[in-house]
Amino acid sequence: MDATAVVTGASRGIGAAVARALGAEGARVMVAAREADAVESVAESITEAGGEARAMRADVRDEYDVERLMETAARFGDGVDYVVANAGVYHGKPTETPIDRESYSAFDDHLRTNARGVFAAIREALPHMPADGRAVVPTGSVARDAVDGMGSYAVSKAAAEAVARQFAADVDRTVGCLDPGSVDTDLSGPGGRDPGDVAEMFLWAYGVDAEELDGEVLTLRDWKTATR
């Protein structure tokens, strides 16, 4: 894969697994998250395995952080070919945060990180993205099907999908969402697949036909059907 990829929220979970998978495929990977030590560890694991990676502390809630991140990534390679806008937060426990009991601060930070952060990542990447570049937004079924106790986290994921769809409508790059199903992460809780088991789905999204991804939500079933 001769490409430069930026993965936000890459300190753990899906983000770290996707960053490592991209590095193993030969991409130049810029890993970013709020925890500097954690992303540096992920970048080191990629380089130790023979890949190319750099780490940068960046908070997607701060557009200036994101601007610097994308400028740095563009200098690392020759532009930004692929963005995985993965950074996210969940204030509370899955299925135990009914929206009528949530604080305003939790609601605001869910939207600021999980939706506005997606907007910032894609917007700041676009000036550095070639015509065939693409951005993907990890999502989940709670964005479309309400589940008791998921509160404003679910609202923020629905908003993130809407952000991706609008970019797909307004710009000439490919922007879409991936729903990897239930994954065992700090955000979604235990009981799902290991993040490493779904990382290949993001590699597939980089090469899938642009019309299939642009403005759409591709699911675990779509990936399995296409790669069977």
Q: What is the pLDDT of residues 95-149, one digit of tens each?
A: 899 999 999 999 999 999 999 999 999 999 999 999 999 999 999 999 999 889 9
**Residues 6+ away with beta carbon under 8 Å from 126:** 171, 173
Cβ(177)–Cβ(218) below 8 Å: yes
Higher pLDDT, 51 or 1: 51
Cβ(204)–Cβ(220) below 8 Å: no
Q: How many domains does the chain have?
A: 1
Cβ(81)–Cβ(6) below 8 Å: no
64 catalytically annotated: no
141 catalytically annotated: yes
- Structure token digits, residue 151: 């509160």
Show the domain range for 216.
4-227
Q: Give 1's pLDDT tier (boundaries 50, 70, 90).
A: confident
**pLDDT for residue 69 is more than 90:** yes
In angstroms, the CA 49 to CA 82 distance is 21
Please state, rounded to an integer, the average pLDDT across all residues of the chain: 93
Cβ(157)–Cβ(151) below 8 Å: no
In angstroms, the CA 28 to CA 73 distance is 9
Q: Give 187's pLDDT tier (boundaries 50, 70, 90).
A: low
Q: Tell me, yes or no, if the pTM score tops 0.85.
A: yes
The domain that holds 214 is classified in CATH as: 3.40.50.720
pLDDT score of 189? 57
Cβ(69)–Cβ(30) below 8 Å: yes
**pLDDT for residue 180 is more than 60:** yes
224 catalytically annotated: no
User: In angstroms, how far is the first alpha carbon of the chain from the final one?
Assistant: 21
Catalytic residue among 11, 156, 157, 188: 157
Q: What is the CA angle 72-76-78, rounded to 5?
A: 105
What phi and psi, each to the nearest 5 degrees, are found at residue 146?
A: -65, 140
- Structure token digits, residue 125: 């990447």
Catalytic residue among 82, 90, 153, 206: 153
H or E segment at 211? helix 210-213
